[in-house]
Amino acid sequence: AHQGPGMAHAEVLAMSGGAGPDHTLYVSLEPCSHHGRTPPCVDAILAAGVGRVVVGRSDPDDRVDGRGIQGLRQAGVTVEVGVLADEVEALDPGYFHHRRTGRPRVTLKLALTLDGQLAASDRSSRWVTSEEARADGHRLRAESDAIMIGAGTVRHDDPLLSVRVPDTTDVPGTRPVIVAGRRPIPPQARLLDRNPLILSPQPLAGIRGGQVIVVPDESGERVDLEKALAELGRLEIIDLLVEGGSALAGALWERNLIDRGILYLAAKLAGGPGLAALGGTFPTIGAARPVTIQQVARVGPDLRVEFSPEA
């Protein structure tokens, strides 16, 4: 119900028809208690004279974090907290993750053959999955604030990372994020026309578009991915979708920076090794990490598997 940045929050909209001591206000998230782009919702609730507020979940934002609930109670308002709390968090898991960690929630999306190959040995991969699976992937893009790929994917595929959702005209834009390495980004890359965020281990000269964020690791030759995610979090990127390639996906997985995975398993068998989904090595079975499979569904002829890493 929030109309957008700088506009009325849901509490104010809900009370626009009038409220008083005999009214109960139900809110999914704790009312804000600080001045941001709008005045505090707590002040609006008190001004309206609402007698009771039911809160689904307290707000983990450092600027709130119980202060809204405390302010209401101190003013004599009856407040109940924790009603359907898990369901409330499930409505917007990226927000809660971002506020608790300072980093976006990272979703890894991979399209694979049924025997686990990301691409053929000549790096061709269009199209591994069906049209239905690709449409579902575009819905994932539409739900994300940004889409991350490695510079290798930019060089090999020159993607645009557009969002195309069938039967929808109002599709929000998602900002591209490029993780650069030692090799240059091609100056003709189409993504440079979309004002990408470029995470780089060193300053880049002559880039014709985008914003460069320098986040080197200790070697100075690669991007420090944990620091890079913190930078994206500071830019209010809440949900980040990672689409490629295998080196980037493997590096994020190795550093425990993947929060959710979506695998599209095509109804195709590669029949041999091509390009593995995750860069790196698999030296022994003990190196495999357990995950929790949250959901398995048919998407056209293919399978969609959602998982989360186990702690």
Which residues are designated catalytic?
Answer: 11
Q: Are 192 and 178 within 8 A, CB to CB?
A: no
Structure tokens given for 293: 């499979």
Q: Are 51 and 79 within 8 A, CB to CB?
A: no
Longest dimension (CA), the chain: 70
What one-letter code names the amino acid at 21? P
How many C-beta neighbours within 10 Å does residue 162 have?
14
3-state secondary structure of 187: coil
Say what angle helices 41-48 and 67-74 make with each other, to 10 degrees: 20
Per residue, the 3-state secondary structure of 233-277, as one string, reads HHCCCCEEEEEECHHHHHHHHHCCCCCEEEEEECCCCCCCCCEEC
How many angstroms separate the first and last alpha carbons of the chain? 34
